[in-house]
Amino acid sequence: MIYLLLASAGVNPGQGKLLFIWERATPEAKGIIIILAVFSIFAWSIMASKALQMSRARRLNRLFETEFRTQKQVMEVYDRRVQVEDCPLFMVYQEGCKEMDVRLRTPEGGRKGAISLKSMEHIKRTLEGTVASQALRLESGLIMLAIAVSGAPFLGLLGTVWGVMDAFGYVAMRGRADLATMAPGVAAALITTVAGLLVAIPSMFGYNWLVHNLRVLTVELDNFAQELVSKMETEYLEE
């Protein structure tokens, strides 16, 4: 479409057409394109950082889960003071074991052999809160992608409508409605829609992929928390 408009205006589309369109764009359209460029930078940086974060979380989860399943007692890893940074499963395990350790402690500094059902309920609530906080940590930043997906096309459309309005105003002032008069202005107006789509389309694919991975990680956290509670009840819950 832009190619045909430029050709009708006597411009060689193969030589600097984007520069020509930029020069003919209104200040409002240029401002919108700059805003969309900033959106694009933020969107790509968020997609890259969240992809690396989730990839690292999955890798550490697998390593910790392997270690967890080899232990004979549920608090063995905790007692060894193992630390695994940025591992969601470990954070759930650590917070659950901290609460369990508090419930088992005696005034003499030792550990009881069992805890009450009420204490176990407190541990369950601690695990649920930790699962929620880890899910929120993984989800942080995705709102910017959602804004880019939903807002970028409308910003592009706003620039296009504004540019077309200016183009028709220019035609009215010239008193001539031929294609050569209209083409540069309309082409410059359409570029904002293209810019909006170039921001929104990658953001949409990235957002959907990240949300899928977030749901998988959240389900893994829920399942691990339930398994951890089950093992704690088996070892420490009073009969």
- Sequence ranges of the domains in the chain: 15-236
Q: What is the mean pLDDT of residues 55-76?
A: 90
- State the residue for tokens 């608090």: 75
Share of the chain above pLDDT 90, in %: 36
Q: Which of 50-59, 103-112, 180-189 has the highest mean pLDDT?
A: 50-59
In terms of pLDDT, which residue wins out, 224 or 141?
224
Q: What is the mean pLDDT of residues 36-64?
A: 92
Answer whether 190's CB lies under 8 Å from 158's CB.
no
Contacts with 93 (C-beta within 8 Å, 6 or more apart), sequence order: 64, 68, 77, 78, 224, 228
Q: Is the pLDDT of residue 192 over 50?
A: yes
Q: Is the pLDDT of residue 101 over 80?
A: yes
Helix (H) or strand (E) holding 179: helix 179-236
CA distance 114 to 104: 7
Q: What is the mean pLDDT of residues 107-134?
A: 87
CA distance 74 to 68: 8
Euclidean distance between the first and the last CA atom of the chain, given in angstroms as a whole number: 77
Answer whether 43's CB lies under 8 Å from 202's CB.
yes
Q: Is the pLDDT of residue 219 over 50?
A: yes
Q: What is the pLDDT of residue 174?
A: 67
Q: Dihedral through CA 45, CA 48, CA 53, CA 56, nearest 10? A: -150
Cα–Cα separations (whole angstroms), residue 209 to 148, 206, 218: 15, 5, 14
Q: What is the mean pLDDT of residues 161-174?
A: 75
Q: What is the pLDDT of residue 16?
A: 61
Q: What is the pLDDT of residue 20?
A: 67
Q: Is the pLDDT of residue 74 over 80?
A: yes
Q: What is the mean pLDDT of residues 59-85?
A: 87
